[in-house]
Structure 1
Amino acid sequence: MHPQPLDFGITTDCGITDNISWWDSDAEVTTVLSRPDTDPELWDEYLRGAVESYRRHGVERAVDVDAVRDGSDTAMFWATLDSTGRVIGGLRAKGPLLSADDSHATVEWAGQPGLAAVRKMIDDRVPFGVLEMKTAWTTDDRDKARRISTALARTPFHAMTLLDIQFCMATSAPHILERWRTSGAVVAPIPATPYPDERYRTKMMWYDRRTFANHAAPDQIPKIFREMSIVSTGTEAQPRDRAAAL
């Protein structure tokens, strides 16, 4: 995959001064897009849910909450809320990356044959803007989790729209990759890494704002464009008060 540049001015300021939220009728959740310093209580609840979820699956070592709690490396985050206002999923966007050294992927591939390819793939794209999607989790309710994951798979486009950048990347186990591929992610031709432990074969995937429609599932494309419009214009934004957004 050889990136073609777009005329983007890379910035670390996504311009969010209040949260943006909308109802997702497929997942039956309210999606809230915000920043750690804008919604510190929601940020803490999202992180708490992530720790609990990763612990239940025995992979708590994959999320270092103490390292990310201050939100300094997080451009924005998403929380999905059920009808009671409880956070039942979310993820965060790290960056924009200045080099491969900023990416957690280099930790995940440390000592593995694919490390050099991981570093090159990131560094080649940094001039066009790269965000890393991290710390994704959902409820353990299987049907609900599937629908929330499909919704969260569209979040890279919110980030690319707000920061006007070309690329987002993420790493994930194969069973999650299939869900994220519905919104146009392309799995990199790099050998998998046994991260966070030998049970997993983690792969890298990329979103390219220029070409995603060539790879996305047809039913995801209109939803992606609708949500990109929401985050760029705030036309369906809801108040910051969580109760008022439900």
Structure 2
Amino acid sequence: MDQVTAESLKEEMEIFSVSYEDDAVLDKMVEQCICNRLEANEMVNEWVAFSSTKKGLKLTINTLQQFEHEVLNKRSQSKPSSRKDEAYNRPMDIHTIQELIKAEEEDDDLLDSYSTPAKGSQKRALTTPEHPRSKRSAALLPSPSLLLSPASFSPSATPSQKYSQRGAKGEVVVTFGAVQGTRWVGRKDPGAGVQVELLEGPENSLCCSYKFMFQRLRDVHNVLAEKIEDLGKSLISHFKIEELSCAP
């Protein structure tokens, strides 16, 4: 940092055409530069910026005191905080971190000694476990090598009581086969010779009993409705019926 003199300040002020009251003003500005560690150009730049905000303030002893109070003092107060931030932001080695931790523990011990009643430090020891294991996985799995298996993430649940006590489990709901004791009787003429035949060939017809695989009523409805529609279309095409109607 170069030494600030009245001549250097005078040269800088001539650049901006700044007029001053007398030489006492230059001496005061030199004093302010030394106290605030400012160069001559920095000092003049600060003053020009300050005077422009005050609508062209004249450079006198009184205005310099106002300038020092509003600008220079705030500038000097903001510097320690920035230095403190730089101290916290710079990288630290392991020894520096250990020293900081030790200093914090000593401060806590000092505060605990003045408390009523005195209590010990509640900080946990900053140590790394040799074999870290979660409590949940340790209870479920005997081997540490299975910590990331699906069993460690799947919750154990008991089956529902309604499910375990349900009735008709494993039984056949609906069956298809021969019906015993059924005979065909005509309404008008018993001797008309009604003969029941298969609609389709024997290869497409059911010839033996089978289990109906649908237990939900909605599924049964959908399957039977589809069969009825297919049967209706076959009757319409076979007998050349224009439209089917429901019987009263």
Please give the TM-score of this superposition, normalised by the length of structure 2. 0.19
Larger-gyration structure (1/2): 2
Structure number with greater CO (CA < 8 Å, separation at least 6) is 1
More strand by share: 1
Please give the TM-score of this superposition, normalised by the length of structure 1. 0.19
More helix by share: 2
